[in-house]
Amino acid sequence: MKLIVETPRLLLREVDESDADGFFEMDSDPEVARYVGNVPVESREKCLEIIRFVQDQYLAFGMGRWSVLLRETGEFLGWCGPKRMVDSGINGRADFVEVGYRFMRRHWGKGYATEAARATLAYGFDVMKLPEIVAYADVRNEASVRVLTKIGLNRGNDFEWEGKTHAWFEKKRNID
Ligand SMILES: CC(C)(COP(=O)(O)OP(=O)(O)OC[C@H]1O[C@@H](n2cnc3c(N)ncnc32)[C@H](O)[C@@H]1OP(=O)(O)O)[C@@H](O)C(=O)NCCC(=O)NCCS
């Protein structure tokens, strides 16, 4: 297990196959899928594929989504972390690092996404020394737009992606 970040309530660590049941509960939920493209999933096996995909990203880019666990109990809550996007063309941008998150529905509304995303930004700027971190969300996804606003990203333009209007967010690292 590679621990990345600790916050008052959360541990963020690299994903591993022990997270498959948590991924499956989360990613098979149509409510979780409402504003994101690649879910709901129909099998635990598919979740193992997703986990291996993220592990490949660690090797290729030195970064990828991290599992978020509750410190007190060690239970899996969801994922949060940076993702390197190369040649995506999203919002006309070729190469960037975006922060994203996804949590099991029974853990929504407790501030976990905000706490994890804030820690990801701090780690991305202070430890990884990323020059810029971006994010985007379906404009109807008010919880996500709220999280991105609360963590201090600057809202940019709206743009169309996969047939839906998305809001772009970005923040540059303070010069140190
Ligand atoms: C988006 C998501 C990660 C938010 O997780 P969370 O842990 O509940 O978020 P937080 O509790 O940290 O913050 C949510 C904020 O949105 C607000 N909110 C929640 N639902 C809302 C709604 N329908 N309309 C307006 N605000 C809403 C909450 O009140 C809270 O703001 P506040 O602290 O000012 O009260 C969670 O809903 C999720 O996993 N959704 C499915 C996956 C997804 O959409 N990921 C993002 C893709 S861009």
CATH of the domain at 89: 3.40.630.30
| 154 within domain boundaries | no
* pLDDT value at residue 174: 86
How far does the chain reach from its first CA to its final CA, in angstroms?
Answer: 31
Neighbours of 96 (CB within 10 A): 20
| 100 within domain boundaries | yes
pTM for the complete prediction? 0.97
| 41 within domain boundaries | yes
The ligand 1 atom nearest the CA atom of 117? 12
One-letter amino acid of 7: T
Q: Which two tokens stand for residue 16?
A: 């591993």
Q: What's the alpha-carbon Rg for the chain, to the nearest Å?
A: 15
* pLDDT value at residue 176: 61
* pLDDT value at residue 37: 79
| 149 within domain boundaries | no
Cα gap 149→154, rounded to integer Å: 7
* pLDDT value at residue 12: 98
The preferred substitution site among 39, 112, 114, 165 for testing ligand 1, maximizing ligand atoms within 8 Å of CB, is: 114
Q: Cα(134) to centroid of ligand 1, in Å? A: 18
Please identify every stretch of the chain with a pLDDT value under 50, giving residue numbers as ranges: none
Range of the domain at 76: 3-131
| 152 within domain boundaries | no
Q: How far is CA 165 from the centre of its chain?
A: 19
| 12 within domain boundaries | yes
| 143 within domain boundaries | no
Cα gap 146→6, rounded to integer Å: 23
Q: Cα(175) to centroid of ligand 1, in Å? A: 30
* pLDDT value at residue 1: 74
| 163 within domain boundaries | no
Cα gap 174→131, rounded to integer Å: 8
Q: Is 109 in the pocket of ligand 1 (CB under 6 A)?
A: yes
Q: Is 141 in the pocket of ligand 1 (CB under 6 A)?
A: yes
* pLDDT value at residue 38: 74
Domain count across the chain: 1
